Amino acid sequence: MNFRPRMREEPEINLIPFIDVLLVVLIFLMLSTTYSKYTEMQLKLPVADTEAQRDYPKELLVTVSAEGAYGVNRLPVAGRGLEELSKAMVDGAKAGKETVVVISADASARHQAVITVMEAARRSGLTQITFATQSTAQAGFK
């Protein structure tokens, strides 16, 4: 009988496979992340629970600031009148009548400013209109 204590091998943690898996997960997250659009004007969008936004190749982005200034495809519109906005929307609509107008209005923008954008779209012959919002999670509400 051998009563001498056996030397146990201590378990060894091999970190190489763990690092490989983490790198694969990191690459997957980097490739699947969507980047939101940022406008030149600082806007606080109204809150609504929405699905993820899709990019439309035929979209016309119209922004309305809290002060009532307009922007079309990230370019400021010279005036605040209906005619100037309508002309800028016609110039920015690359797909013609098929263009989708995306209105990104500040949450504290006047209601009349948004109605002016809708009227300018109607005068320009653009009938597909949608509104950009942020989800309640992005706004910090529960």
| DSSP per-residue letters across 81-102 | SHHHHHHHHHHH-TTGGGPEEE
In a domain? residue 17: no
Whether residue 23 lies inside any domain: the answer is: no
The CATH number given to whatever domain includes residue 116 is 3.30.420.270
Whether the CB-CB separation of 102 and 132 falls below 8 Å is answered with yes
Note whether residue 133 is domain-resident. yes
Secondary structure (3-state) at 134 = strand
Residues of the chain above pLDDT 90, percent: 25
Query: What is the per-residue pLDDT across 33-75, written as a single tens digit (0 to 9) for each?
Result: 766 555 456 767 777 665 555 555 588 899 999 888 999 988 8
Supply the pTM of this predicted model.
0.57
Beta bridge partners of 70: 64
Could you tell me if residue 84 is inside a domain?
Answer: yes
The predicted-structure confidence for 5-14, as pLDDT tens digits, reads as follows 777 778 788 8
The answer to whether residue 25 sits within a structural domain is: no
Residue 38 located in a structural domain: no
Helix (H, G, I), strand (E, B) or coil at 103: strand
Predicted confidence at residue 140, as pLDDT, reads 60
Q: Residue 121 domain-assigned?
A: yes
- Domains in the chain, number: 1
- Residue 6 falls within a domain, yes or no? no
What is the residue range of 134's domain?
A: 59-139
Tokens of 130: 């949608």
DSSP bridge partners of 64: 70, 105
Q: Which of 17-21, 38-42, 97-101 has the highest mean pLDDT?
A: 17-21
